[in-house]
Amino acid sequence: MTANNFDYDLIIIGAGSAGYPTGMYASRYKIKNLVIGAQPGGALATSHKVENYPGTASASGKEIMDNFREHAIASGSEMLSDMVSSVEKQEDHFVIETASGKSFTTRFVVLATGNNYRKLGFEGEKEFLGKWVSYCATCDGMFFKGRDVVLVGGWNTALTEALYLAEICNKVYIVHRRDTFRAEDIWVEQAKKAENIEFVLGEEVESVWGKLFMEEVKLKSGKTIKADGIFVAIWSDPNTTLVDHMNLEKDEEGCLVVDKRQETTIPNLFAAGDVTTNSNKFKQTIMSAAEGCLAADSIHEVMLRG
Protein backbone atom coordinates (compact mmCIF):
# COMPACT_ATOMS: atom_id res chain seq x y z
CA MET A 1 0.00 0.00 0.00
CA THR A 2 1.10 3.57 -0.59
CA ALA A 3 1.48 6.22 2.09
CA ASN A 4 -2.16 7.21 1.51
CA ASN A 5 -3.32 3.60 1.97
CA PHE A 6 -4.32 3.30 -1.66
CA ASP A 7 -3.28 0.34 -3.77
CA TYR A 8 -1.29 2.61 -6.09
CA ASP A 9 -0.17 6.19 -6.32
CA LEU A 10 -0.98 6.12 -10.02
CA ILE A 11 -2.91 3.89 -12.40
CA ILE A 12 -2.32 4.37 -16.12
CA ILE A 13 -5.14 3.24 -18.39
CA GLY A 14 -3.77 2.32 -21.78
CA ALA A 15 -0.72 0.22 -22.64
CA GLY A 16 0.67 2.06 -25.63
CA SER A 17 2.89 4.89 -26.77
CA ALA A 18 1.55 7.25 -24.07
CA GLY A 19 0.91 4.73 -21.30
CA TYR A 20 4.28 2.99 -21.16
CA PRO A 21 6.37 6.20 -21.02
CA THR A 22 4.06 7.51 -18.28
CA GLY A 23 4.80 4.41 -16.25
CA MET A 24 8.53 4.54 -16.95
CA TYR A 25 8.87 8.16 -15.83
CA ALA A 26 6.57 7.65 -12.85
CA SER A 27 8.74 4.72 -11.73
CA ARG A 28 11.87 6.85 -11.99
CA TYR A 29 10.16 9.27 -9.61
CA LYS A 30 9.42 6.35 -7.25
CA ILE A 31 5.70 6.70 -7.89
CA LYS A 32 4.07 3.31 -7.41
CA ASN A 33 2.18 2.70 -10.64
CA LEU A 34 0.21 0.12 -12.59
CA VAL A 35 -0.29 0.14 -16.35
CA ILE A 36 -3.53 -1.53 -17.45
CA GLY A 37 -4.23 -2.30 -21.09
CA ALA A 38 -6.24 -4.90 -22.98
CA GLN A 39 -4.15 -4.44 -26.12
CA PRO A 40 -0.43 -4.37 -25.23
CA GLY A 41 1.33 -1.86 -27.45
CA GLY A 42 -1.84 -0.09 -28.51
CA ALA A 43 -2.45 0.93 -32.11
CA LEU A 44 1.23 1.25 -33.02
CA ALA A 45 1.78 -2.45 -32.34
CA THR A 46 -0.26 -3.22 -35.45
CA SER A 47 2.04 -1.24 -37.76
CA HIS A 48 4.08 -3.42 -40.08
CA LYS A 49 7.02 -1.03 -40.07
CA VAL A 50 7.87 2.32 -38.44
CA GLU A 51 10.59 4.60 -39.79
CA ASN A 52 9.82 7.97 -38.17
CA TYR A 53 10.66 7.30 -34.52
CA PRO A 54 13.93 9.05 -33.57
CA GLY A 55 16.84 6.70 -33.01
CA THR A 56 15.10 3.79 -34.71
CA ALA A 57 15.73 3.80 -38.44
CA SER A 58 13.31 0.96 -39.12
CA ALA A 59 11.39 -1.47 -36.91
CA SER A 60 7.96 -2.98 -36.58
CA GLY A 61 5.47 -1.19 -34.37
CA LYS A 62 5.36 -4.25 -32.14
CA GLU A 63 9.12 -4.19 -31.68
CA ILE A 64 9.07 -0.54 -30.65
CA MET A 65 6.20 -1.07 -28.24
CA ASP A 66 7.82 -4.19 -26.77
CA ASN A 67 10.87 -2.01 -26.03
CA PHE A 68 8.63 0.64 -24.45
CA ARG A 69 7.00 -2.00 -22.27
CA GLU A 70 10.27 -3.60 -21.17
CA HIS A 71 11.74 -0.21 -20.31
CA ALA A 72 8.75 0.62 -18.12
CA ILE A 73 8.95 -2.76 -16.36
CA ALA A 74 12.71 -2.41 -15.83
CA SER A 75 12.07 1.00 -14.28
CA GLY A 76 9.56 -0.45 -11.82
CA SER A 77 6.10 -0.26 -13.42
CA GLU A 78 3.65 -3.10 -12.88
CA MET A 79 1.62 -4.39 -15.84
CA LEU A 80 -1.86 -5.85 -16.08
CA SER A 81 -3.32 -7.18 -19.33
CA ASP A 82 -6.98 -6.48 -18.73
CA MET A 83 -9.73 -4.12 -19.83
CA VAL A 84 -10.77 -1.32 -17.50
CA SER A 85 -14.54 -1.37 -17.15
CA SER A 86 -15.08 1.67 -14.93
CA VAL A 87 -13.36 4.66 -13.37
CA GLU A 88 -15.05 6.33 -10.39
CA LYS A 89 -13.90 9.45 -8.54
CA GLN A 90 -14.18 9.34 -4.75
CA GLU A 91 -13.32 12.21 -2.39
CA ASP A 92 -9.54 11.89 -2.52
CA HIS A 93 -8.96 8.95 -4.85
CA PHE A 94 -10.24 6.91 -7.77
CA VAL A 95 -11.62 3.39 -7.89
CA ILE A 96 -10.70 1.36 -10.97
CA GLU A 97 -12.65 -1.77 -11.92
CA THR A 98 -11.58 -4.23 -14.62
CA ALA A 99 -13.47 -6.65 -16.84
CA SER A 100 -11.94 -9.61 -15.00
CA GLY A 101 -13.39 -8.41 -11.68
CA LYS A 102 -10.30 -6.75 -10.18
CA SER A 103 -10.64 -3.52 -8.21
CA PHE A 104 -7.94 -0.98 -7.34
CA THR A 105 -7.71 2.34 -5.55
CA THR A 106 -5.33 5.09 -6.63
CA ARG A 107 -4.68 8.75 -5.92
CA PHE A 108 -3.95 9.64 -9.56
CA VAL A 109 -5.10 8.39 -12.96
CA VAL A 110 -3.59 8.98 -16.39
CA LEU A 111 -5.94 8.20 -19.25
CA ALA A 112 -3.85 7.07 -22.22
CA THR A 113 -6.55 5.33 -24.23
CA GLY A 114 -5.79 6.89 -27.63
CA ASN A 115 -8.41 7.07 -30.33
CA ASN A 116 -10.43 4.65 -32.38
CA TYR A 117 -10.10 4.90 -36.14
CA ARG A 118 -13.45 4.61 -37.84
CA LYS A 119 -13.51 1.61 -40.11
CA LEU A 120 -15.13 1.45 -43.55
CA GLY A 121 -15.91 -2.26 -43.32
CA PHE A 122 -14.71 -3.23 -46.79
CA GLU A 123 -13.47 -6.74 -47.53
CA GLY A 124 -9.80 -7.03 -46.61
CA GLU A 125 -9.71 -3.97 -44.33
CA LYS A 126 -9.11 -5.96 -41.16
CA GLU A 127 -6.99 -8.70 -42.72
CA PHE A 128 -4.46 -6.34 -44.27
CA LEU A 129 -4.25 -3.67 -41.58
CA GLY A 130 -0.64 -2.55 -41.26
CA LYS A 131 0.28 -3.97 -44.67
CA TRP A 132 -1.84 -2.58 -47.49
CA VAL A 133 -4.34 -0.75 -45.28
CA SER A 134 -3.33 2.28 -43.20
CA TYR A 135 -5.07 5.01 -41.20
CA CYS A 136 -2.06 7.34 -41.01
CA ALA A 137 -0.36 8.76 -44.09
CA THR A 138 2.33 10.46 -42.00
CA CYS A 139 3.17 7.11 -40.38
CA ASP A 140 3.09 4.83 -43.41
CA GLY A 141 3.27 6.99 -46.51
CA MET A 142 6.97 6.43 -47.15
CA PHE A 143 6.39 2.70 -47.60
CA PHE A 144 4.51 3.56 -50.79
CA LYS A 145 7.05 6.01 -52.18
CA GLY A 146 6.80 6.12 -55.97
CA ARG A 147 3.70 3.91 -55.98
CA ASP A 148 0.00 4.42 -56.65
CA VAL A 149 -2.32 4.67 -53.64
CA VAL A 150 -5.97 5.25 -52.81
CA LEU A 151 -7.06 7.61 -50.06
CA VAL A 152 -10.64 7.52 -48.76
CA GLY A 153 -12.31 10.55 -47.18
CA GLY A 154 -13.60 14.06 -47.74
CA TRP A 155 -12.75 16.10 -44.65
CA ASN A 156 -9.69 18.25 -43.92
CA THR A 157 -7.65 15.30 -42.69
CA ALA A 158 -8.26 13.39 -45.91
CA LEU A 159 -7.29 16.27 -48.18
CA THR A 160 -4.18 17.22 -46.23
CA GLU A 161 -3.05 13.59 -46.12
CA ALA A 162 -3.68 13.30 -49.86
CA LEU A 163 -1.47 16.34 -50.45
CA TYR A 164 1.27 14.80 -48.33
CA LEU A 165 1.02 11.50 -50.21
CA ALA A 166 1.12 13.35 -53.54
CA GLU A 167 4.60 14.57 -52.62
CA ILE A 168 6.00 11.04 -52.32
CA CYS A 169 3.70 8.77 -54.32
CA ASN A 170 3.35 8.40 -58.07
CA LYS A 171 -0.45 8.76 -58.07
CA VAL A 172 -3.09 9.41 -55.42
CA TYR A 173 -6.75 8.57 -56.00
CA ILE A 174 -9.11 10.32 -53.59
CA VAL A 175 -12.26 8.23 -53.21
CA HIS A 176 -15.19 10.03 -51.60
CA ARG A 177 -18.77 8.85 -51.32
CA ARG A 178 -20.17 12.32 -51.96
CA ASP A 179 -19.93 14.55 -55.01
CA THR A 180 -18.60 17.45 -52.94
CA PHE A 181 -16.06 17.72 -50.13
CA ARG A 182 -16.61 18.90 -46.58
CA ALA A 183 -12.99 20.00 -46.30
CA GLU A 184 -12.03 23.65 -46.37
CA ASP A 185 -11.85 25.12 -49.86
CA ILE A 186 -8.14 25.86 -49.57
CA TRP A 187 -7.30 22.15 -49.27
CA VAL A 188 -9.65 21.16 -52.05
CA GLU A 189 -8.16 23.75 -54.40
CA GLN A 190 -4.63 22.63 -53.62
CA ALA A 191 -5.58 19.02 -54.30
CA LYS A 192 -7.14 20.00 -57.62
CA LYS A 193 -3.91 21.71 -58.64
CA ALA A 194 -1.79 18.65 -57.88
CA GLU A 195 -1.05 16.88 -61.17
CA ASN A 196 -0.88 13.42 -59.60
CA ILE A 197 -4.13 13.58 -57.59
CA GLU A 198 -7.28 12.20 -59.19
CA PHE A 199 -10.77 12.58 -57.70
CA VAL A 200 -13.09 9.56 -57.69
CA LEU A 201 -16.35 10.99 -56.38
CA GLY A 202 -19.68 9.38 -55.60
CA GLU A 203 -17.94 6.07 -54.97
CA GLU A 204 -17.38 3.71 -52.04
CA VAL A 205 -14.81 0.97 -51.50
CA GLU A 206 -16.06 -2.60 -51.60
CA SER A 207 -12.83 -4.60 -51.29
CA VAL A 208 -9.08 -4.73 -51.77
CA TRP A 209 -7.32 -7.53 -53.57
CA GLY A 210 -3.80 -8.73 -54.16
CA LYS A 211 -1.33 -11.56 -53.78
CA LEU A 212 2.02 -10.69 -52.23
CA PHE A 213 1.16 -6.98 -52.53
CA MET A 214 -2.13 -5.16 -53.01
CA GLU A 215 -3.03 -4.91 -56.67
CA GLU A 216 -6.43 -3.27 -56.88
CA VAL A 217 -9.28 -1.59 -55.05
CA LYS A 218 -12.79 -2.59 -56.09
CA LEU A 219 -15.53 0.03 -55.76
CA LYS A 220 -19.19 -0.69 -55.09
CA SER A 221 -20.07 0.55 -58.58
CA GLY A 222 -18.00 -2.30 -59.99
CA LYS A 223 -15.12 -0.08 -61.08
CA THR A 224 -11.56 -0.95 -60.04
CA ILE A 225 -8.47 1.11 -59.30
CA LYS A 226 -4.98 -0.33 -59.70
CA ALA A 227 -3.09 0.64 -56.55
CA ASP A 228 -0.48 -0.61 -54.09
CA GLY A 229 -2.05 0.64 -50.86
CA ILE A 230 -5.10 2.29 -49.36
CA PHE A 231 -5.32 4.99 -46.69
CA VAL A 232 -8.56 5.45 -44.76
CA ALA A 233 -8.97 9.01 -43.48
CA ILE A 234 -12.65 9.29 -42.64
CA TRP A 235 -12.48 10.09 -38.92
CA SER A 236 -11.11 9.01 -35.55
CA ASP A 237 -12.90 9.14 -32.23
CA PRO A 238 -10.98 9.87 -29.00
CA ASN A 239 -11.53 6.92 -26.69
CA THR A 240 -13.12 8.70 -23.71
CA THR A 241 -15.91 6.25 -22.90
CA LEU A 242 -14.56 5.42 -19.44
CA VAL A 243 -14.79 9.01 -18.21
CA ASP A 244 -17.75 10.37 -20.18
CA HIS A 245 -19.97 10.16 -17.09
CA MET A 246 -17.67 12.68 -15.36
CA ASN A 247 -18.59 15.42 -17.87
CA LEU A 248 -14.98 16.40 -18.53
CA GLU A 249 -14.39 19.35 -20.83
CA LYS A 250 -13.84 18.34 -24.47
CA ASP A 251 -13.21 20.20 -27.70
CA GLU A 252 -15.39 20.04 -30.80
CA GLU A 253 -13.71 16.80 -31.92
CA GLY A 254 -14.27 15.06 -28.59
CA CYS A 255 -10.66 15.29 -27.38
CA LEU A 256 -10.16 15.81 -23.65
CA VAL A 257 -9.14 19.36 -22.83
CA VAL A 258 -5.98 19.29 -20.72
CA ASP A 259 -3.80 22.08 -19.39
CA LYS A 260 -0.07 22.44 -20.02
CA ARG A 261 0.53 19.88 -17.24
CA GLN A 262 -1.72 17.28 -18.95
CA GLU A 263 -4.38 17.58 -16.23
CA THR A 264 -8.05 17.39 -17.19
CA THR A 265 -10.79 19.50 -15.65
CA ILE A 266 -11.02 16.99 -12.77
CA PRO A 267 -8.16 17.29 -10.25
CA ASN A 268 -5.68 14.38 -10.25
CA LEU A 269 -7.13 12.96 -13.48
CA PHE A 270 -4.56 13.40 -16.21
CA ALA A 271 -4.57 12.38 -19.87
CA ALA A 272 -1.87 11.82 -22.47
CA GLY A 273 -1.59 10.99 -26.14
CA ASP A 274 -4.14 10.98 -28.94
CA VAL A 275 -7.07 11.35 -26.54
CA THR A 276 -6.04 14.93 -25.61
CA THR A 277 -6.00 18.41 -27.11
CA ASN A 278 -2.28 18.93 -26.50
CA SER A 279 0.67 18.72 -28.95
CA ASN A 280 -1.53 20.46 -31.51
CA LYS A 281 -3.26 17.05 -31.81
CA PHE A 282 -0.33 15.84 -33.92
CA LYS A 283 -1.03 12.12 -33.54
CA GLN A 284 2.46 10.66 -33.52
CA THR A 285 4.21 8.23 -31.20
CA ILE A 286 6.84 10.72 -30.14
CA MET A 287 4.17 13.25 -29.13
CA SER A 288 2.20 10.67 -27.14
CA ALA A 289 5.35 9.56 -25.34
CA ALA A 290 6.25 13.16 -24.50
CA GLU A 291 2.78 13.85 -23.09
CA GLY A 292 3.00 10.72 -20.95
CA CYS A 293 6.37 11.79 -19.55
CA LEU A 294 4.99 15.26 -18.81
CA ALA A 295 1.96 13.80 -17.03
CA ALA A 296 4.22 11.73 -14.78
CA ASP A 297 6.39 14.77 -14.02
CA SER A 298 3.31 16.84 -13.19
CA ILE A 299 2.02 14.16 -10.82
CA HIS A 300 5.41 14.07 -9.13
CA GLU A 301 5.21 17.84 -8.55
CA VAL A 302 1.75 17.47 -6.99
CA MET A 303 3.02 14.69 -4.68
CA LEU A 304 5.95 16.85 -3.57
CA ARG A 305 3.49 19.51 -2.48
CA GLY A 306 1.76 16.94 -0.31
Closest CA to 139 of 164, 173, 114: 164
Closest CA to 197 of 156, 223, 154, 159: 159
Does residue 293 carry a catalytic annotation? Answer: no
Q: What are phi and psi of 66, to 5 degrees?
A: -60, -40
Catalytic residue among 139, 169, 255, 293: 139
Catalytic residue among 7, 9, 136, 228: 136
What is the rounded CA–CA span in Å between residue 78 and residue 163? 43
Fill in the amino acid letter for 243.
Answer: V
Catalytic residue among 7, 82, 92, 140: 140
What is the rounded CA–CA span in Å between residue 148 and residue 169? 6
Helices 185-193 and 156-168: angle between axes, nearest 10 degrees: 20
Does residue 169 carry a catalytic annotation? Answer: no
State the first-to-last Cα distance of the chain, in angstroms, to the nearest integer.
17
Give the CA angle between residues 262, 263, 265 to the nearest 5°. 140
What is the rounded CA–CA span in Å between residue 112 and residue 83? 13
Closest CA to 63 of 44, 82, 39, 36: 44
What is the rounded CA–CA span in Å between residue 232 and residue 165? 13
Does residue 136 carry a catalytic annotation? Answer: yes
What is the rounded CA–CA span in Å between residue 199 and residue 191? 9
Q: To which H or E segment does residue 174 belong?
A: strand 171-176
Catalytic positions are 136, 139-140
